[in-house]
Structure 1
Amino acid sequence: MLDGSWFSTSFAASVTVVLTAVGIYLVLVLFTRLAGLRTFSKMSTVDFAVTVAIGSVLASTTLTKDPPLAQSVVALAALFMMQYGASLLRMNSDAMIDVLDNRPVLVMAGPEILHENLKNVRMTENDLYAKLRQANVTRRDQIRAVVMETTGDVSVLHADPDGQPLEDELLYGVENADRLRRETG
């Protein structure tokens, strides 16, 4: 039989949750302001992992007695410092980019779907078509390239109406980008 205790809470517990939520929120805003705009950008695997970890710390802090607020502040500080350190490593070493990040992968070269690459990134054709619709593609001949980015986002590069080639720099670091250059360049 259900005792109903998990439906209710005491006034003191509610006040504790509110005060803890306000406290951890203020700390998060402060750390985000100190760390800068990149904090929640999801520009790299590390950024994404830190965003998820921060959410976990916030939830644990707000809804449970353990960890206490002070420990959560330390945990947030550690996460922000790790992200900052990783971004410094990434800025100063291409080798660290390879260690810390997934490589972006070309999944379409012009109108051609690269099925092997689609399989490697565990994306279905239906997933791909959904992303093409979101990018306002109405015909496959409008597509110059589609890239699965390091964060799992999908970038759709539209064909230039004047037929100008895609600049090589835009495909720097993209796995199989040479295939696009070979077939359409």
Structure 2
Amino acid sequence: MEWIYQANDPLWPTVAGSVLIFLVVVILTRIVGLRSFAKFTAYDFAFTIAVGSIISSILTSSTTVVHGSVAIVTLLLLTFVFSSLQRRFQWVNQLISNKPLLLMKGPEILDKNLAHARVERSQLIAKLREANVIHFDQVLAVVLESTGDISVLHVGDDDDCSLGENILEGVREHP
């Protein structure tokens, strides 16, 4: 039964560390802003994973709350600096950010783009089903976003819509 509970488990320090690190993350997020946990770029994703790992280390007593908090503050500062540089300098934005990629243009599947993005046709069709697409003719566009999410822009059977002129701004048609 030692794998369930051991008398020397640091339960109270874990509870106290959880409360403290929760407060640190909430306060830092309020200071830096919600952008700190967005997933716009690869470094945003890496930041989120790193913070999770740091919090795990704190809660399992591998590191102290202060040490973990300093690591989280450093990562938040780095994301703040990179997002500021990204806004100021286009070349930094291009270096850090992936541009969205068109996977379907209307009812046409762009196989070359699927291959470039390493997305299987079956995965694309699964996303269409998730979006309640019944016929390919309902699809206006499918975009692999810079976050890795797939956006399905479609109309219902009775709708007769076209895409707004700016909705695909910044989306690559060719890899």
1:10 maps to what in 2?
7
Supply the AA of the counterpart residue of 2:31. Answer: L
Which ranges in structure 1 are unaligned for 5 or more consecutive residues?
Answer: 180-185
- Residue identity (%): 38
CA distance in 2, matches of 1:131, 1:59: 32
Report 1:27-106 matches (<5 A). 27-63=24-60, 65-106=61-102
- The answer to whether structure 1 residue 21 and structure 2 residue 18 are counterparts is yes
Runs of 4+ in 1 over 6 A off after TM superposition: none
Question: Per the alignment, do residues 23 and 165 of structure 1 end up closer, same or farther by CA in structure 2, a change over 3 Å counting?
Answer: closer
Taking structure 1 as the reference length, the TM-score comes to 0.84
Query: Displacement of 1:8 after TM fit?
Result: 2.3
Does the C-alpha gap of structure 1 residues 115 and 139 become closer, same or farther in structure 2, counting only changes over 3 Å? same
1:147 equivalent in alignment to 2:146: no
Q: CA deviation at 1:7?
A: 3.3
- 1: CA distance, partners of 2:98 / 2:77: 21
1:121 aligns with 2:117: yes
| Inter-partner Cα distance in structure 1 for 2:162 and 2:140 | 10
Structure 1: how far apart are the matches of 2:131 and 2:37? 23
Considering only aligned residues, what root-mean-square deviation do their CA atoms show, in Å?
2.1
More helix by share: 1
Q: CA deviation at 1:83?
A: 1.0
CA contact (8 A) 2:140 2:154 kept: yes
| CA deviations over 1:103-155 (Å, ceiling 9, x no partner) | 21111111111112111111111211121122221211111111101110011
- State the SS of the aligned residue for 2:142: strand
Structure 2 residue identity aligned to 1:154: I
SS at match of 1:117: helix
Query: Partner of 1:42: helix, strand, or coil?
Result: coil
Q: Secondary structure at the match of 1:170?
A: coil
Question: Match for residue 108 of structure 2?
Answer: 112
